[in-house]
Structure 1
């Protein structure tokens, strides 16, 4: 029995270290994301297969996100608007379908012209700056 727990512990530690990713980008405030971003693809994992998207996310300085474009879930063009704020370095946005609930997104990677968000329904969101 002792040998099993030692092997299980080693396997658990190996799995944890193999899954360790680089630290998230800590946002000081909304000015770091304000602007219009083209959502190009989404994926359930950082390196996994991606699903094409054609939506725009506009992060406004007044704490509002506006998403627009083709919604593949609804199979039509739409526009949604909801509030967001930066909390503990992450984006905390109202959940449009569930009043009083929020969806959190961590910035996985960010450059001047690209950004990857982790969280929400899809898992990973891959953006280009417009």
Structure 2
């Protein structure tokens, strides 16, 4: 019986650890975040990136990507975003009106992991 109880507690703890974080509104994410890595799986190999996501209070996500090896060195893109039903919904491409849903997998005051359609995004304030 004791083994069964310990197994049940461990299983419950693993489900709790992997539960998504519910965002109450855009104030949970507003401001500048440094997107420093992305990965196909949460515990998979991370690709380092240098991108700033600035969630403005007007529903616009300002993205600034730095590529020291590229021709342009810096790329700026603005897309719309909303926080609805506890998740972030952001435009896939500017002005297209097609949104992808991103769930916060982990969130503290100064770090966040988002699971979007195809990638996990690792961000720090």
Q: Which TM-score band (shorter chain)?
A: 0.7 to 0.9
- Please say if residues 106 and 113 of structure 2, whose CA atoms lie closer than 8 Å, have aligned partners that are also in contact: yes
| Residue 88 (str. 1) matches residue 115 (str. 2) | no
TM-score normalised by structure 2 residue count: 0.78
Q: Structure 1 unaligned runs (5+)?
A: 1-18
Give me the whole-angstrom Cα distance separating, in 1, the residues matched to 2:92 and 2:115: 15
Q: Structure 2 unaligned runs (5+)?
A: 1-13
Query: For residue 116 of structure 1, what is the aligned residue in structure 2?
Result: 113
Query: For residue 32 of structure 2, what is the aligned residue in structure 1?
Result: 36
Describe the shift of the 1:44–1:98 C-alpha distance in structure 2 as closer, same or farther (beyond 3 A).
Answer: farther
1:1-130 matched pairs, under 5 angstroms: 22-70=18-66, 76=72, 77-96=74-93, 99-121=96-118, 123-129=119-125
Q: Which runs of 4+ in 1 moved over 4 A?
A: none
TM-score normalised by structure 1 residue count: 0.76
Deviation at 1:103, TM superposition (A): 1.2
What is the total number of aligned residue pairs between the two structures?
A: 110
Describe the shift of the 1:120–1:66 C-alpha distance in structure 2 as closer, same or farther (beyond 3 A).
Answer: farther
CA RMSD of aligned residues (A): 2.4
